[in-house]
Chain A
Amino acid sequence: MNVLSQNVALAASAPMVSEQYDDARQQREAATLGMWVFLATEILFFGVLFASYTILRVLYPQGFAVASRHTDMLFGTIETGVLLSSSCLIALAVRAVKLDQHRVAVWLLSATAMLGVTFLVMHGFEYYKEYTEHLIPGIDFKQPAPRAHAVELFFCLYYCITGFHSLHVTIGVIVIVVLAVRVKNATFGSQRYTYPELTALYWHLVDIVWIFVYPLLYLVGRSG
């Protein structure tokens, strides 16, 4: 009985190994590689949008320059700061999990999720502002000739890219909240941290994609 309860106690802190793996190390390797492969597919998803952006921008450089002036650089810049800070916080959270500092980790993860929500809310305000300025294709788009079509194309891409990215942010926030709850229940610790680490990897990807989105949609073409 004593041995059994000891085993149960050990099992809670030690990683559970699924039957297809030999040991925890192999399981960890598999999960990590799986995440990297998944991130590669994500790059290609966004790659389509970036490729489309490149081609249409080459076709309509002036239209795109006009259009990018309609985006809100202040909001975009703050959003970039918010997302970068959140990436920093989740990296610290993973470190806290590895050091078994569960309370700190929960706080850091909650802050990360809050920043994610902030990002989404700010985007909401941006979308509303664009709505009032008649910039949303398909719903309400009225811009003066002669470059109206190119501006509309830009905003088609703008909504595809930022919409798809915001979808990723939303999924990330949900995953991080779930992770925070599980960390609070002491599911993870110095012996078991693959899941927090992989969540952080995903969040960094969301961040890195934005680092490309921000200059392409908000900055390029403004100076000319």
Chain B
Amino acid sequence: MSTSDAALAIPSPSRSFWNGDYGLRAWLTTRDHKRIAILYALGITGFFFLGGAAATLIRVNLIEPTGSLLTAETYNKAFTFHGVVMVWFFLIPSIPATLGNFLLPLMIGARDVAFPRLNLASWYLYICGGLFAVASLLAGGVDTGWTFYTPFSTMFSNSNVFLVVIGVFVTGFASILTGLNFIVTIHTLRMPRMTWYRLPLFVWTMYAVSLVMVLATPVLAMTLALIALERLAHLGIFDPALGGDPLLFQHLFWFYSHPAVYIMILPAMGVVSEIIPCFVRRRIFGYRFMTYSILAITVIGFMVWGHHMFVAGQSMYASLVFSIMSFIVAVPSAIKVFNWTATLRKGAITFEAPMLYALGFIGLFMLGGLTGLMLAAPALDIPLTDTYFVVAHFHYVMVGGSVMAYLGGIHYWWPKITGKLYSEGWARAAAILMFFGFNLTFFPQYILGYEGMPRRYHSYLPDFQVLNVLSSAGASILALAYLLPVAYLLWSLRAGAAAGNNPWNARGLEWQTTSPPPKENFLSEPIVREAYAYDEPAP
């Protein structure tokens, strides 16, 4: 692109959504989905590094078998802090609330989401709930783990459980309202000719994830409210002293928290489905099957929660059914992996930073998914329950999967969001560092778990030390790899070259508007075609 073209491509300052009202007040009262996405991104990044700090404490503590850095009690509080913050305040909102908020209206050619004020209200709920919970976690600490299992959480743990549960409860409503907003937006605000089967797969995953948020989160909210009531008003539905059922809590909790895994992974799949066709210059393989498998994961994902409870005392027959359903839900996930791989075949693959993240995602998600199948079989799960094997499995899915895809998406759409190009060399270096750092951190944990090291203890047998040291070493590389993007992305805001409207020569409506987009999203009506029309020239 020549300099004169680049100059033309940069919108006049007043046109970009970043400009206009600069003040803090204008930002905190904005109804623009793009600004709300930026607000979410700031919050989410903050929580990510807070959760990461707790993870650092854990990994440093586990360098030596005696675990002398933290006492057993502080260690429990550290992993609870890590889990609560990472799951509820980072992973759940990460892709939907930032990239989803920013891109969903752009991708369907809308001016905003259906309910912009509700969108802003969701952010306030999120940030207030999050800060409240973090303050309570720091003030006294909670040692229940992120799952708040009864009767420990209701009868024995300290009273901060109540406060943290309230924080998570409030943030749950942010999730519900975002889901509601997205569902209505996708149904009613698609521009003319943007039919369902022309939607980018990212929008399909946003739709699916919104369904899960809307249908599962209320169950969590009510369950947490019941814990709060049991602590506050002694309405002890889960209280075993009365004959109440602590196992009921686990059922209700996992009825949400297993679908929540799909809240984390479906958007990641959507991001990867956008990135891969762009850097292969091909249509995505099996578009329709991709949409069907997204829906299949959504529906079947609601019927597998019992695989978290194989050792909790549920009936053998229930375990059998949940085990079979868990194997079945792996089929549509596998279809997606096959389709991404088939898209690569005979493509003109280039390895820009977003593509490196996407390819990393496929590899790590596959390992996470396959070990998930091992855990879906009760015969294997029973000996592996509460070992590091489980820890490694869900970190491969959530960190190796969701976080890699989130960062891939941030890199892919960064030029669109900010109008600036980051340093490609640094970005590739960070992506590669992250892949190796991640594997060094978590692959040893598979072996540790297989050898029988239990999770959630601050000390361990000396035999396990070599692998734990490897894991902690990997964690330090991973920490560096997470800090790098902060540095070069921020630097790009200052010194990055202008991105132009479509630096990747990608398809999709969001690339037809200026970078960054104007407040009203499109200055002229975008041209709608089939998704991923990489065999046709850009409009």
Contact = CB atoms under 8 A, between A and B. Distances in A.
B183 A29 contact: no
Contacts of A60: 243
B235 A156 contact: yes
Majority secondary structure, A binding face: helix
Interface string A102-133: 00000000000000000000000000000000
A55 to B, nearest CB: 6
B148 to A, nearest CB: 15
A52 B184 contact: no
Interface in A1-52: 18-21, 26, 29-30, 33-34, 37-38, 40-42, 44-49, 51-52
B236 A34 contact: no
B237 A157 contact: yes
Interface stretch (A145-153, A174-182, A190-198, A210-218): A145-153
B252 interface: yes
A160 B237 contact: yes
B229 interface: yes
A12 to B, nearest CB: 22
A144 interface: no
A138 B232 CA distance: 9
A224 to B, nearest CB: 20
Contacts of A18: 116
Contacts of B229: 160
Nearest to A29: B188
A121 to B, nearest CB: 22
A16 to B, nearest CB: 14
A152 B180 contact: no
Interface string A57-81: 0011000000000000000000000
A137 interface: yes
Contact of A51 (B115, B242, B252): B252
Nearest to B216: A44
Interface stretch (B151-159, B218-226, B460-468): B218-226
A102 to B, nearest CB: 27
B346 interface: no
A186 interface: no
Contacts of B245: 55-56, 59
A152 B221 CA distance: 23
A51 B256 CA distance: 14
B165 to A, nearest CB: 15
Taking each of A37, A45, A60, A138, which has the highest tally of chain B beta carbons within 10 Å of its own beta carbon? Answer: A37
Given A44-B215, A44-B219, A52-B248, A156 B237 contact: yes
A116 to B, nearest CB: 23
B345 interface: no
Contacts of B105: 20
Contacts of A30: 114-115, 184-185, 187-189
A153 B218 contact: no
Contact of A37 (B113, B183, B252): B183
Contact of A33 (B116, B188, B217): B188
A156 B114 contact: no
A33 B183 contact: yes
Nearest to A159: B235
B64 interface: no
A33 B105 CA distance: 17
Nearest to B249: A52
A138 B244 CA distance: 15
A40 B214 contact: yes
A138 B214 contact: no
B252 A41 contact: no
Contacts of A150: 243
A26 B189 contact: yes
A41 B189 contact: no
Contacts of A59: 243, 245
B265 to A, nearest CB: 22
A150 B226 CA distance: 17
B111 interface: yes
B252 A137 contact: no
Given A26-B188, A30-B189, A59-B243, A37 B219 contact: no
Nearest to B210: A37
Contact of B236 (A44, A46, A49, A137): A137
A49 B222 contact: yes
Contacts of B187: 29-30, 33
Nearest to B223: A48
Taking each of A20, A42, A46, which has the highest tally of chain B beta carbons within 10 Å of its own beta carbon? Answer: A20
Given A30-B184, A48-B226, A160 B235 contact: yes
B233 interface: yes
Given A44-B215, A152-B242, A153-B243, A52 B111 contact: no
Contacts of A26: 188-189
B2 to A, nearest CB: 36
Nearest to B238: A52
Nearest to A160: B235
A185 to B, nearest CB: 21
Contacts of B244: 56, 153, 156
B243 A19 contact: no
A93 B275 CA distance: 53
Contacts of B215: 40-41, 44
Interface in B100-120: 105, 110-116
A19 B110 CA distance: 10
A55 B248 contact: yes
A34 B237 CA distance: 32
Nearest to A138: B234
Given A20-B114, A41-B176, A149-B242, A47 B219 contact: yes
Nearest to B242: A149
Contact of B116 (A20, A47, A51, A55): A20
A167 B187 CA distance: 31
A37 B118 CA distance: 14
Taking each of A38, A48, A55, which has the highest tally of chain B beta carbons within 10 Å of its own beta carbon? Answer: A48
B189 A20 contact: yes
Given A19-B111, A160-B229, A41 B237 contact: no
Interface string A83-94: 000000000000
A20 B33 CA distance: 11
B111 A20 contact: yes
State the 8 A-B residue pairs at the shortest beta-carbon distance, nearest first.
Answer: A138-B234, A48-B222, A20-B112, A44-B218, A156-B235, A30-B188, A30-B114, A45-B218
Given A48-B219, A159-B235, 6 more contacts: A20-B116, A26-B188, A30-B187, A38-B180, A47-B219, A160-B226
